[in-house]
C-alpha cells in the first residue's frame, strides 16, 4: 500500500505573548492508503494541531509533510485551498454547518468551490447521492436546527464526501453524540473506509471509539508516544444489530 501521509519531524510552536507554546515537538508518522487511524491522547497533547496541518488548514513551524508524495509545506494558500477541496474531507466536533441553510445546500457547498462548473441539477444529484450514503435522503430540505445532533453530524460527513476525497479527517466527531449515534457515525466511517478505500484519521479521547480503527497512535506533549495496530477491532455494523433500537433516529 502506498503512503498517503508522511510527516517528518513536524514542529509547531505558537507564540502567546512572551511564552512559546510547543504544540508539536517533532512528530514522525506515515499513514498508508486505506488505513483507519485513531489518534488519541490527553487534552492539549497536540492532536488537533496535528490534524490541522495534515488537513492543510495550517502550516508547520518546521518539518516536512508529504501528501501523496507532494511537499505541502511549499504550496501557496490557493493551492492548499484546492487540496482541502478535492483531496480532504473534514468532520468537526461542532458540525460547522451553515445555519438557515438546507442540508442539501450545506452538502453542496464544497462543489461550489471545486471550479468544475457543475450545473445546479447535477450538483443536487451528487448531493442527494451522498446524503443517501449517510441515510439522510429524506431530510434534504431540513435546516440544521431541525435536525438532531447525529443527523447534523451525518450531514457534515456527507459534505466532506461530496468531492470524493481520498482522506477523511475527523476531530472528535462523536464528542457531542450519545452512544448509539456515535456507533452509527462509526459505522459510516467504517463503511467508507472499507468500501471506498478512504483513508480515515479520527481523533478521539474515548478508548472504545478508537477501537473502531485499524491502527492507534497516542500523542503526549506534542509527540507520538505509542503507535500500534488494533488487535480486536470493533465493527459498528455488528454492534448496531445487537443494540436496542430505542434511541434510533
Partner 1 sequence: MSLLMIFRIALKAMGRNKMRTALTMLGMIIGVAAVITMVALGTGAQSSIEAQIQSAGTNVIIVSAGNFMAGGVRQGQGAASTLLPEDAAAIAPLPGVQYVAAGLNTRGQLVAGNQNWNTQVQGTDVDLPLIQAWQIERGAFFTPQDVTTAAKVAVIGSVVRDQLFGPDANPVGQVMRIQKQPFNIVGVLAAKGQTSMGQDRDDVVMVPYTTVMKKIRGVTFINNVTVSAASSNEVKVVADRIATLLRVRHRLQPGDPDDFMVRTIEEMASVRKEATQTMTALLASIAGVSLLVGGIGIMNIMLVSVTERTREIGLRMAIGARGRDVLLQFLVEAVVLSLFGGAIGIALGFGLSRGITFWMEWPTTVSTNAVAVAFGFAAATGVFFGFYPARKAAALDPIDALRYE
Ligand X SMILES: Nc1ncnc2c1ncn2[C@@H]1O[C@H](COP(=O)(O)OP(=O)(O)OP(=O)(O)O)[C@@H](O)[C@H]1O
Residues of this chain that bind partner 1 (CB under 8 A):
52, 55, 57-58, 77-78, 81-82, 84-86, 90, 92, 96, 98, 100-101, 109-110, 112-115, 117, 159-160, 163
Q: Do the Cβ atoms of 155 and 104 come closer than 8 Å?
A: no
Quick one: cell of 148? 438532531
Nearer to partner 1, 11 or 57 (CB): 57
Is the Cα torsion angle 5, 228, 169, 239 positive or negative in sign? Answer: positive
Identify any residues that bridge with 22 across adjacent strands, giving them in sequence order: 13
Would you mind telling me the total number of residues written for the chain in this entry? 249
The entry of partner 1, Mg ion, ligand X, none that residue 150 binds, CB within 5 to 8 Å by partner kind? none
Is residue 1 part of the contact set for ligand X (CB under 6 A)?
A: no
Nearer to ligand X, 46 or 55 (CB): 46
Binding residue (CB under 6 A) for ligand X from 16, 19, 241, 245: 16
69: left (phi over 0), alpha (psi -120 to 50) or beta: left
Is residue 45 part of the contact set for ligand X (CB under 6 A)?
A: yes
Min dist CB 212 to ligand X, Å, is: 18
Q: Do the Cβ atoms of 234 and 179 come closer than 8 Å?
A: no
Question: Any idea what DSSP says for residue 30?
Answer: E
Nearer to ligand X, 136 or 203 (CB): 203
Q: Please, what is the Cα angle at 196 between 192 and 202, to 5 degrees? A: 40
How is the beta sheet containing 88-91 ordered, strand by strand? Answer: 88-91, 167-171, 199-203, 36-40, 215-220, 223-229
Is residue 199 part of the contact set for ligand X (CB under 6 A)?
A: no
Nearer to partner 1, 75 or 240 (CB): 75
Burial class (CB in 10 A: 0-12, 13-18, 19+), 234: middle
Min dist CB 117 to partner 1, Å, is: 7
Binding residue (CB under 6 A) for ligand X from 4, 40, 46, 163: 46
The crossing angle, in degrees rounded to 10, of helices 149-161 and 179-195 is 20
Binding residue (CB under 6 A) for ligand X from 5, 10, 23, 133: 23
Options 16-24, 136-144, 154-162, 184-192: segment touching ligand X (CB under 6 A): 16-24
Site residues, Mg ion (CB under 5 A): 48
Is residue 226 part of the contact set for ligand X (CB under 6 A)?
A: no
SS3 248: coil
Name the residues that contact ligand X, by CB under 6 A.
Answer: 14, 16, 21, 23, 41, 43-49, 205
Amino acid at each position: 500500500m502506498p503512503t498517503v501521509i508522511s510527516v517528518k519531524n513536524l514542529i509547531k510552536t505558537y507564540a502567546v505573548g512572551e511564552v512559546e507554546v510547543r504544540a508539536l515537538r517533532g512528530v514522525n508518522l506515515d499513514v498508508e492508503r486505506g488505513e483507519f487511524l485513531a489518534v488519541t491522547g490527553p487534552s492539549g497533547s497536540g492532536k488537533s494541531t496535528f490534524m490541522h496541518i495534515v488537513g492543510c488548514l495550517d502550516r508547520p513551524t518546521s518539518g516536512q509533510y508529504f501528501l501523496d508524495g507532494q511537499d505541502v509545506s511549499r504550496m501557496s494558500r490557493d493551492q492548499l485551498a484546492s487540496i482541502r477541496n478535492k483531496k480532504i474531507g473534514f468532520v468537526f466536533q461542532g458540525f460547522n454547518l451553515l445555519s438557515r441553510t438546507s442540508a442539501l445546500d450545506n452538502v453542496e457547498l464544497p462543489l461550489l468551490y471545486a471550479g468544475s462548473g457543475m450545473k445546479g441539477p447535477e450538483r443536487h444529484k451528487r448531493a442527494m447521492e451522498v446524503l443517501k450514503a449517510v441515510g439522510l435522503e429524506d431530510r434534504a430540505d431540513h435546516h440544521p436546527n431541525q435536525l438532531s445532533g447525529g443527523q447534523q453530524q451525518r450531514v457534515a460527513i456527507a459534505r466532506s464526501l461530496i468531492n470524493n476525497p481520498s482522506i477523511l479527517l475527523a476531530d472528535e466527531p462523536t464528542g457531542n453524540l450519545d452512544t448509539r449515534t456515535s456507533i452509527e457515525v462509526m459505522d459510516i466511517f467504517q463503511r467508507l473506509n472499507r468500501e471506498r478505500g478512504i483513508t480515515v484519521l479520527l481523533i478521539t479521547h474515548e478508548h472504545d471509539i478508537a477501537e473502531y480503527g485499524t491502527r492507534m497512535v497516542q500523542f503526549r506533549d506534542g509527540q507520538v508516544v505509542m503507535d500500534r495496530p488494533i488487535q480486536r477491532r470493533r465493527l459498528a455494523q455488528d454492534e448496531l444489530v445487537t443494540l436496542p433500537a430505542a434511541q434510533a433516529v
